[in-house]
Amino acid sequence: MMYKHLLFVLLFVSIISSSFAQLKQHKTYYDNGKVEEEGQYKNDKMHGTWKYYYDDGQLYAIENYEEGVEVGEWVSYYENGQLETKVNYVNGVLNGLALAYFEDGSLQGRATTINGVLEGDYIAYEDVDKIKEKGTYKNDEKVGLWIENKFYSNGNFKEEAQYLDGKKHGSHKKYFENGQIALIANYTNDIADGPYKEYNKDGTLSETGEALNGERHGVRKEYRYGELSELTTYNNGQKEGRYEDWNIDKNQLKEEGFYKNDEKSGYWKLYDSYGNIEEEGPYKKDEKNGYWKIYLTNHHSKKYRKYSEGNYVDGERDGKWIFYNRNEEQEYYTIYKNGDEVEKVKDGIEYISKYDETDNSYYTEGEKHYKNNKLIKTIKYIIKGNTIVDKEVWVNGKLESKASEGYEKRIDYYKIYFKNKCSKKAQVALRILDMKTDNWTTKAWFNLQTNEEGYLADTKNAIFYYYAEDSTGSYWGGEHRKNVDGRQFGFKKIDMSSNGKGKYFITLTCN
């Protein structure tokens, strides 16, 4: 019995001794003598609790091992002692709630793992109250609705997005580095869908529109310096419907028309720098096709007139084109074929201009009247002191007749002038009795800049009507109702009979 008891004691001591022999303490130090890390090894593997420190002695991290396998709670700290991370291991695999904090103690992130696989709710912050990611994991994959945001290095938002099952879905925003919004849009299953807005870096609007199934759809508007510069209508990615191109410096149209199947189609109007129509006519399949009219605005008088008209075929002039003089009387016509000039025929009135070197300008010294390229007569102006005092009619080189009175005294029609004394651009519409057709006609619009004077029309009737408005909404009008470009305006009646024929001025004034 005594032998057995001694044998048991020796065996127990042997076991304890063997066990202690397998544990080895470990400790390292910084150059300043402070502990850097401490723990122990068992069978040359990390075992038990390990601690790590900053060089000032403040605790940095605590880890737990079971013979080299991560187990239990692991934590890390900021240098100020605030908790940084907290996770849990089971047999070397992350399990349970994982937490991360900012240095001020506010939450930086939260997730849950089961056997090393992300599962359930997840959230991560870029900064306090700035969500970086938020959503749900299932078997380590993102599922359902997610919020995913990106940030610039200065902390400002770069992008805010929502995802559904890994695809963009819902609100989507992009930002400039200065914090200004750059884009507001919407997605459905990774495809742009719904209204959107784009902005410039200074915060001014750049573009608005809508998307349908990833394609532009509906009205798209482009802006420059906050002003509308272009309007385009789309149908499933193709231009379809109304189009407008604007001169933002003068707040007036440059061109307007329609598209069909991504091609110019239907009636188009192009405008000059004064806001008057420069060309108008139909397009077909992106080419000028049909009857077109071309107009000119005199840079000095601002008088606006028809210059030429004729036919286009597949973008080329074809057939007879008529050209008009300054009084909208036919001067000549040209025959075209496939865009090439075939024949030019003088058939009307050609005004003869001469250059005056003293004042660096041109003046009219007479007229030539043609019929089918044959000169019928020449009218020479007798000018004194910049005034036509007489006219001579010459036929075949011979003087046929001579006016007996000064031309200005014999003028038998009214010349209508307008002057804009307002601080904003104004536009004028006239109702006059046309001298050629003897029919009432509407002429619109004549554009007058501030302090500009315009010679707008001639008429033999002492009565005419006008409507004017400026860009602020101020207007001048009366009771005579007429439609212009689909809108109804009240025109003011003017009686020039007491003034006598010749020049008649109307001045637009503002308070």
CA–CA separation, 90 vs 64, rounded Å?
Answer: 10
Residue 259 neighbours by CB distance under 10 Å: 21
Model's pTM, two decimal places? 0.66
| Three-class HEC string of 242-275 | EEEEEECCCCEEEEEEEEECCEEEEEEEEECCCC
**Comparison of pLDDT for 404 and 57, the residue scoring more:** 57
Q: How far apart are CA 221 and CA 235, in angstroms?
A: 14
Q: How confident is the model at residue 471 (pLDDT cuts 50, 70, 90)?
A: confident
Find the mean pLDDT for residues 425-433: 94
| Helix then strand then coil, % of the chain, to nearest 5 | 5, 65, 30
Burial class (CB in 10 A: 0-12, 13-18, 19+), 31: exposed
- pLDDT one-digit tens code per residue, 164-201: 998 999 999 999 999 999 999 999 999 999 999 999 99
Fold of the domain spanning 17-118: 2.20.110
Residue 410 has pLDDT above 70, yes or no: no
Given a contact cutoff of 8 angstroms between Cβ atoms, the answer to whether 143 and 165 are in contact is yes
List all residues 6 or more positions away from 414 whose beta carbon is below 8 Å from its beta carbon.
Answer: 458, 459, 460, 461, 462, 464, 496, 499, 501, 502, 504
**What own/partner pairs with CB < 8 Å and gap ≥ 24 does 26-35 have?**
30/55
Looking at CATH, the fold of the domain delimited by 414-508 is given as: Immunoglobulin-like (2.60.40)
Contact 316, 338 (CB under 8 A): yes
pLDDT at 102: 95
Which amino acid type is present at position 332? Answer: Y
Instruction: Provide the token pair at 469.
Output: 């408005």
Cα gap 82→104, rounded to integer Å = 7
Across the range 155-168, mean pLDDT stands at: 92
Give the model's pLDDT for residue 408.
42
198: burial class by Cβ within 10 Å (0-12, 13-18, 19+)?
Answer: middle
Q: Quote the pLDDT of residue 15.
A: 31
Instruction: Report the run of H or E that residue 20 belongs to, with start and end.
Output: helix 2-22
In this structure, what DSSP letter does residue 237 have?
T
| pLDDT tens digits along 228-239 | 999 999 999 999
> Percent of the chain scored above 90 by pLDDT?
74
Q: What is the pLDDT of residue 380?
A: 92
Confidence of residue 473 (pLDDT cuts 50, 70, 90): confident
| Cβ–Cβ under 8 Å, residues 394 and 403 | no
Taking the C-alpha atoms of residue 125 and residue 439, their distance in angstroms, rounded to an integer, is 77
- Of the candidate ranges 21-30, 79-88, 403-412, the one whose mean pLDDT is the lowest: 403-412
* Residue among 147, 151, 149 nearest 169 (CA): 147
Provide the residue ranges of all domains of the chain, joining segments of one domain with +: 17-118, 349-410, 414-508
pLDDT surpassing 70 at residue 8: no
CA-wise closest residue to 364 among 384, 385, 347, 381: 381
Number of helices (H), then strands (E), in the chain: 1, 48
pLDDT tens, position by position, 96-147: 999 999 999 999 999 999 999 999 999 999 988 899 999 999 999 999 889 9
Is 60 exceeded by the pLDDT of residue 381? yes
- Tell me the average pLDDT of the chain: 90
